[in-house]
Amino acid sequence: MKFRGQLLTCLKFVGPACLALCLFRFVHDYGEYSSAVAAQIWRPVPIRIKSCDVGHKHVYRGSDYYRPEIRYDYEVNGKNHEGDRLGFLFPEAFDHSSAGRLAAMHIALGLASRSQAYYNPNDPTQSVLSIGHDYAKEFKQRTSDQIKAGILAVIFLVGVFVGWDDYCSIDDRPAYARAITKPTR
């Protein structure tokens, strides 16, 4: 029984960590969405492609994936700038397979064939190649996935606390739990 109590104590921290990760991802994606909306009024600028390739990325304890990599130069107000951003909320990761590599190459070549990028008039060092992709759909998909993960984390937490409630008698619980659950007479 002692092992079960220690396990439940450890598991109490998994749910909040998952919720925090979901919140962090949502805040990040919302920032990307806001940038994508703001980029709709960015100014076009001619570009010179420096390189176009498909990069292989290795994720520690995750799956490898391919992503298009494009580097380009552009000039604003007589100053040269370099960019490599494809777009905000742009689907950049493709499966680590020959089909994934071909899809990434198709995206890279399609974007590299463009003759212009879009730069932020308030900060010319910020630029993107694509502002016309369906960023709203990507944001909705990512948000939906984060909400599902958050709901699973809450269900997990409820399960752990129900297990904790079954495991401990009132006297074995921490002081804060005794104060909440102690029956009043």
Which of 130, 153, 172 corresponds to the end of one domain? 130
Q: Which residue has the higher pLDDT, 2 or 148?
A: 148
Residues 119 and 58 in one domain: yes
Residues 182 and 157 in one domain: yes
Residues 16 and 48 in one domain: no
Residues 154 and 103 in one domain: no
Please say whether the beta carbons of 131 and 36 come within 8 A: yes
Which of 102, 130, 158 corresponds to the end of one domain? 130
Residues 103 and 146 in one domain: no
Domain range for residue 113? 43-130
Q: What is the rounded distance in angstroms from the CA atom of residue 21 to the CA atom of residue 88?
A: 20
Give me the pLDDT at residue 21, please.
84
Residues 36 and 63 in one domain: no
Which of 108, 130, 152 corresponds to the end of one domain? 130
Residues 55 and 108 in one domain: yes
Residues 50 and 115 in one domain: yes
Residue with tokens 């009043």: 184
pLDDT digits (tens, 9 = 90+) for 95-150: 778 887 888 887 778 777 778 889 999 999 999 888 777 788 888 888 888 888 88
Q: What is the DSSP string of 85-109?
A: ---TT----EESSHHHHHHHHHHHH
Q: State CA 118 to chain mean position distance.
A: 23
pTM over 0.85, yes/no? no
Cross-strand pairs, 80: 75
Counted domains in the chain: 2
